[in-house]
């Protein structure tokens, strides 16, 4: 039987990796993450993001409307958290967008005072990591529960 895929944290890559979708279109990989049970993979590129199912391997959803520097999935649901890559206007690294991929609608947008470095979700909480703060939200209402001051954390480690 196939071995389970390891959980890979969503993190910005030190150097963007080129991805070729077709002979004429290339994109640079900026971030990647598996969902909580490693059944889906999401990638963020300078051209958008794409979600794949791992077994069988197939594209489940994609969007090519701007760079995505942080992407996070909630299990196998249609809820996705996205942060812009900051390469073009409108793709702020300080704005988190919660998106329903089934209806392709924005559920909410959160703006922060500095760049969002990492996002994590579970069934009840949303964790947003900035360089010197970590914000914890209630996922159902997006109510801010706690803000934790942290030591400088340029890599967005949890």
pLDDT tens readout for residues 100-126: 999 999 999 999 999 999 999 999 999
Look up tokens 């996070």; give the residue.
72
**Is the predicted pLDDT of residue 144 greater than 60, yes or no?**
yes
**Is the predicted pLDDT of residue 15 greater than 80, yes or no?**
no
Q: What is the pLDDT of residue 6?
A: 45
Predicted TM-score (pTM) of the model is 0.81
**Is the predicted pLDDT of residue 89 greater than 90, yes or no?**
no
Mean pLDDT estimate for the chain:
86
Q: Which residue has the higher pLDDT, 128 or 87?
A: 128
Q: Which helix (H) or strand (E) holds 156?
A: none
Output the DSSP codes for 63-124. E-SS-EEEEEE-TTSSEEEEEE-SSSTT--TTEEEEEETTTTEEEEEEE-SS---EEEE-SS
Q: pLDDT by residue (tens digit) across 23-48?
A: 455 788 999 999 999 999 999 999 99
């Amino acid at each position: 039987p196939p071995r389970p895929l390891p959980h890979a944290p969503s993190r910005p890559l030190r150097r963007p990796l080129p991805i070729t979708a077709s002979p004429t279109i290339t994109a640079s990989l900026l971030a990647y993450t598996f969902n909580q049970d490693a059944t889906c993979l999401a990638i963020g590129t300078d051209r958008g993001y794409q979600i794949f199912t791992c077994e069988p391997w197939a594209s489940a959803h994609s969007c090519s409307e701007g760079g995505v520097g942080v992407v996070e999935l909630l299990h196998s649901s249609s809820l996705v958290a996205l942060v812009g890559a900051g390469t073009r206007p409108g793709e702020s690294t300080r704005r988190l967008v919660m998106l329903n991929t089934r209806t392709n609608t924005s559920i909410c947008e959160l703006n922060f005072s500095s760049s969002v470095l990492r996002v994590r979700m579970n069934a009840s909480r949303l964790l947003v990591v900035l360089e010197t703060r970590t914000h914890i939200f209630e996922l159902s209402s997006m109510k801010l529960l706690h803000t934790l001051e942290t030591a400088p954390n340029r890599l967005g480690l949890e």
